[in-house]
């Protein structure tokens, strides 16, 4: 019988903090600005410049630590990690090695076999590096230092995960916590959440871990799953052939669905860490921890509980809505405005999720405002617009956040309540379609549907279908 | 001099520091580093039992700034240091094959 292997995975997750400024200087962290605009002597490592720690970074890191059941390190400090690379103008990264901000936590994930704890070894604060864009044609790389000095928290897990599914569940959990706390938007495609995967395989039942490799450059959940499957396979094949797995860093190429060794012997990973002399220690009092703890917002589990009590919506709906803080906020605000949780939930669960899926959008990309969604629901309930018009208007609210009242007014979409107008339209359809009328009278039921369709079209879908049907029947009977 | 820096060590340190040293420079660097290590040995002669290690020389902690943008467009000054630039970026030899 073939050997059975178990995959052992630990993760290093980098989360970019949602501060307005960088970790050690007053440069903006805004994403997508022109290259090198958000730079200064501090974040470009000019001699003589001095870093000063952004207090918000410490508080966000503490919030993340507390929300993941970590112990906060009450005397913590920064260290220098030395390496040469064009993305790093200082030739060292200010990070934390000896006394990281938080340690020994865990998050609980749902697996097919029930809930499982993934332990967090530690969490440290550090600065991000600049961004390199590789020019395929010129054989050059272009460096933009806007990201240099943007605050990061690196979360190092224990090797507690056993499958790609568990890894994704863990990442989704971390992302949800960070988003609920408001400490990061965690957009993988913009790089505000990144994961390095440490993976080894061992025979089922083995006590010892196998030799692990580290995979970098994973910027989507899809790439992470592919890389895990690919690396597991590669390592098993090596072992089956009687070869050894070499401990190394590998870069995943999602286009080629293949990883390759990144660092050669020449680039030995010897970072020569030492205490950062330009920054003084951080002393965190019990009072400071208590203050951050008291400020922690409602997290998802508590929110779900409250939804169950406060709103009459199905558990399944509540679960999907609270999966993202952005959607939950939208839901709550719209409910507050129109007072109809069931209807708000229906729009979100139906049309909104459908459109998001069609356009492959993340909750963070949503532009529609709760005010306009609430107004649309009120207008539909008041009979100002028909259900089919409401769906059309919703699409415009979804894409451009239009004011439904104004939009309906400008496009003449109000429901036709004027019986005279409906009567007139129906009479005209009957006059224009003598053949269909004759067919219907001759017993062809199908002809009624055609007349009904023509009438609704003539009224541009703005009339109540029941009223149109009634009048059509009445005239045909006469 | 008690400490000896081997050829391998000086080679390795050179790689880490991205420095290409001539044979004379290597010898000079070895002598300097040996002196430094000897000095550390001198420091190590001091009895430090019961003394808490310090991570900083000043009795100061918690120096923070508020999260407020104070810097404007630093592009011109930053790019003034670029040996080679393309548009508004630093152009460097390709880093990934």
Alpha helices in A311-362 (DSSP H): 315-322, 325-338, 341-347, 353-358
Are A23 and A151 contacting, i.e. CB atoms less than 8 angstroms apart?
yes
When comparing pLDDT for A167 and A428, which is higher? Answer: A167
Q: Are strands A213-218 and A249-253 parallel, antiparallel or unpaired?
A: parallel
- What pLDDT score was predicted for residue A267? 54
Q: Assess contact for A291 and A62: CB atoms under 8 A.
A: no
DSSP A342-355: HHHHHHIIIIIHHH
**H-helix or E-strand spanning residue A140:** strand A140-144
Quick one: pLDDT band at residue A265, thresholds 50, 70, 90? Answer: very low
Q: What are φ and ψ of residue A370, in 5° steps?
A: -60, -30
Residues B66, A56: C-beta atoms closer than 8 Å: yes
Nearest to A141 among B15, B68, B94 (CB): B94
pLDDT at position A187 is 85
If pLDDT is split at 50, 70 and 90, which confidence band does A263 have?
low
CB contact under 8 A, B79 and A143: no
Pairing status of strand B64-65 against strand A53-54: parallel
Which residues of chain A have a CB within 8 Å of the CB of B17? 84
The per-residue pLDDT for range A437-449, each reduced to its tens digit, is 888 888 887 888 8
Cβ contact (<8 Å) for A140 and B91?
yes
Q: Scanning every residue of chain B, which has its alpha carbon at the shortest distance from the alpha carbon of A43? A: B78
Interface test with A, best of B60, B65, B70 (most A CBs within 10 A): B65
Rounded distance, CA A353 to CA A337, Å?
Answer: 21
The third-level CATH classification (topology) of the domain covering A419-477 is Arc Repressor Mutant, subunit A (1.10.10)
Contact of A176 with A324, CB cutoff 8 Å? yes
- Those of residues 237-256 in A touching chain B at CB distance below 8 A are 251
Chain A residues near residue B33 by CB distance under 8 angstroms: none
Contact criterion met (CB below 8 Å) for B88 and A34: yes
Residues 6+ apart with CB under 8 A from A67: A177, A180, A181, A296, A299
pLDDT at A229 over 50: yes
Rounded to the nearest integer, the mean pLDDT of chain A is: 89
Element (H, E) at B25: helix B23-44
Using one digit for the tens of pLDDT, what is the confidence trace for A39-90? 999 999 999 999 999 999 999 999 999 999 999 999 999 999 998 888 999 9
Task: Report the SS3 class of residue A331.
Answer: helix
Q: Is 0.90 surpassed by the pTM of this model?
A: no
Q: Which residues pair with A127 in a beta bridge?
A: A151
pLDDT tens per residue, range A312-371? 888 889 999 998 888 999 999 999 999 999 999 999 999 999 999 999 888 888 999 999
Distance separating alpha carbons of residues A36 and A149, to the nearest angstrom: 12
Q: Does B74 touch chain A (CB under 8 A)?
A: yes
CA distance A174 to A161: 14
pLDDT at A386 over 90: no
pLDDT at residue A106, rounded to an integer: 97
Most confident of A12-21, A191-200, A317-326: A12-21
Judged against a pLDDT cut of 80, whether residue A217 lies above it is answered with no
- Asked if residue A409 has pLDDT above 60, the reply is yes
List the single residue in A21, A36, A77 with the smallest CB-CB distance to B67. A21
Q: Give the pLDDT of residue B1.
A: 54
Q: How many CB pairs under 8 A join A and B?
A: 137
Using the predicted structure, report yes or no on whether residue A243 has a pLDDT greater than 60: yes
Helix (H) / strand (E) containing A398: helix A387-400
Q: What angle do CA B20, B25, B28 make, to 5 degrees?
A: 140
Report the range of poorest mean pLDDT among A55-59, A217-221, A284-288, A462-466: A462-466
Q: How confident is the model at residue A257 (pLDDT cuts 50, 70, 90)?
A: confident
**pLDDT of A266:** 46
Is the per-residue pLDDT at A415 higher than 80?
Answer: no
Q: Do B78 and A44 touch (CB under 8 A)?
A: yes
SS3 A161: strand
Contacts of A275 in chain B (CB under 8 A): 55-56
Structure confidence by residue, pLDDT tens digits, B25-48? 999 999 999 999 999 999 999 999
Q: Which two tokens stand for residue B92?
A: 């460097």
Q: How far is B1 from chain A (nearest CA, A)?
A: 25
Closest alpha carbon within chain A to B95:
A141
CB atoms under 10 Å from CB of A244, counted, come to: 11
Average pLDDT over residues A269-293: 93
Q: Please give the Cα distance from A178 to A212 (Å, whole number).
A: 28
Is residue A404 predicted with pLDDT exceeding 80?
yes
Residue A445: is it exposed, middle or buried by C-beta count within 10 angstroms (0-12/13-18/19+)? Answer: exposed
Listed by start position, the domains of chain A span 5-288, 298-410, 419-477
Residue B54 touches partner A, C-beta closer than 8 Å: no
Report how far residue B86's alpha carbon sits from residue A432's, in angstroms, rounded to the nearest whole number.
Answer: 69
Q: Which residues of B touch A134 (CB under 8 A)?
A: 94-96
d(CA A52, CA A135): 35
% of chain A exceeding 90 in pLDDT: 56
Can you give the pLDDT at residue A388? 81
Residues contacting residue A419 through CB under 8 Å, at least 6 positions apart: A467, A471
Phi-psi region of A48 (alpha: psi -120 to 50; beta: other; left: phi over 0): left
The mean-pLDDT minimum among A143-147, A206-210, A421-425, B62-66 falls in A421-425
Are B55 and A281 inside 8 Å of each other by CB? yes
What's the whole-number mean pLDDT along residues A253-271? 71
**Whether pLDDT at A170 is above 80:** yes
Q: Which residue has the higher pLDDT, A129 or A449?
A: A129
- At A304, is the secondary structure helix, strand, or coil? helix
């Amino acid at each position: 019988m073939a050997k059975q292997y178990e995959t052992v995975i630990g993760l290093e997750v980098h989360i970019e903090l949602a501060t307005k400024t960088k970790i050690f200087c007053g440069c903006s962290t805004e994403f997508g600005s022109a290259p090198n605009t958000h730079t200064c002597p501090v974040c470009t490592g000019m001699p003589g410049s001095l870093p000063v720690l952004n207090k918000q970074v410490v508080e966000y890191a503490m919030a993340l630590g507390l929300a993941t059941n970590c112990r906060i390190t009450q005397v913590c400090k920064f260290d220098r990690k030395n390496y040469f690379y064009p993305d790093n103008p200082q030739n060292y990264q200010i990070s934390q090695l000896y006394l990281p901000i938080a340690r020994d936590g865990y998050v609980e994930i749902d697996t097919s076999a029930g809930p499982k704890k993934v332990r967090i070894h530690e969490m440290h604060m550090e600065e991000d590096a600049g961004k390199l864009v590789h020019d395929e044609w010129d054989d050059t790389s272009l460096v933009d230092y806007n990201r240099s000095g943007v605050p990061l928290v690196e979360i190092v897990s224990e090797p507690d995960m056993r499958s790609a599914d568990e890894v994704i569940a863990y990442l989704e959990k971390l992302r949800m916590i960070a988003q609920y706390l408001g400490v990061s938007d965690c957009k993988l495609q913009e790089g505000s959440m990144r994961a390095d995967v440490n993976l080894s395989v061992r025979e089922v039942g083995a006590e010892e871990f196998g030799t692990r490799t580290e995979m970098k450059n994973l910027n989507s959940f899809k790439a992470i799953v592919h890389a895990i499957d690919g690396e597991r396979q590669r390592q098993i094949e090596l072992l089956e052939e009687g070869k050894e797995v070499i401990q190394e860093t590998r870069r995943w190429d999602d286009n080629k669905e293949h990883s390759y060794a990144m660092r050669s012997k020449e680039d030995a990973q010897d970072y020569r860490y030492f205490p950062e002399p330009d920054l003084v220690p951080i002393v965190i009092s019990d009072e400071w921890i208590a203050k951050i703890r008291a400020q922690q917002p409602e997290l998802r589990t508590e929110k779900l509980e409250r939804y169950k009590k406060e709103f009459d919506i199905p558990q399944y709906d509540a679960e999907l809505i609270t999966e993202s803080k952005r959607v939950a906020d939208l839901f709550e605000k719209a409910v507050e405005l129109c007072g109809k949780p069931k209807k708000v939930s229906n729009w979100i669960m139906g049309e909104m999720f459908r459109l998001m899926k069609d356009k492959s959008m993340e909750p963070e990309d949503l532009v529609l405002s709760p005010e306009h969604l609430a107004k649309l629901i009120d207008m539909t309930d008041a009979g100002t617009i028909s259900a089919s018009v409401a769906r059309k208007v919703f699409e415009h609210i979804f894409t451009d956040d239009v004011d439904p009242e104004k939009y309906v007014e400008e496009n003449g979409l109000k429901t036709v309540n004027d019986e005279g107008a409906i009567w007139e339209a129906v009479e005209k359809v009957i006059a224009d379609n003598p053949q269909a009328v004759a067919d219907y009278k001759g017993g062809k039921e199908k002809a009624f549907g055609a007349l009904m369709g023509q009438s609704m079209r003539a009224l541009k879908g703005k009339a109540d279908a029941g009223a149109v049907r009634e009048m059509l029947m009445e005239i045909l009977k006469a | 001099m008690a400490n000896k820096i081997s050829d391998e060590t000086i080679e390795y340190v050179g790689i880490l520091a991205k420095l290409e040293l001539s044979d004379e420079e290597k010898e000079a660097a070895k002598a300097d580093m040996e002196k430094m290590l000897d000095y550390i040995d001198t420091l190590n002669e001091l009895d430090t039992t019961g003394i808490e290690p310090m991570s900083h020389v000043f009795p100061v902690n918690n120096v923070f700034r508020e999260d407020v943008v104070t810097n404007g467009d630093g592009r011109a000054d930053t790019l003034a240091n670029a040996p080679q630039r393309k548009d508004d970026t630093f152009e460097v030899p390709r880093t990934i094959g």
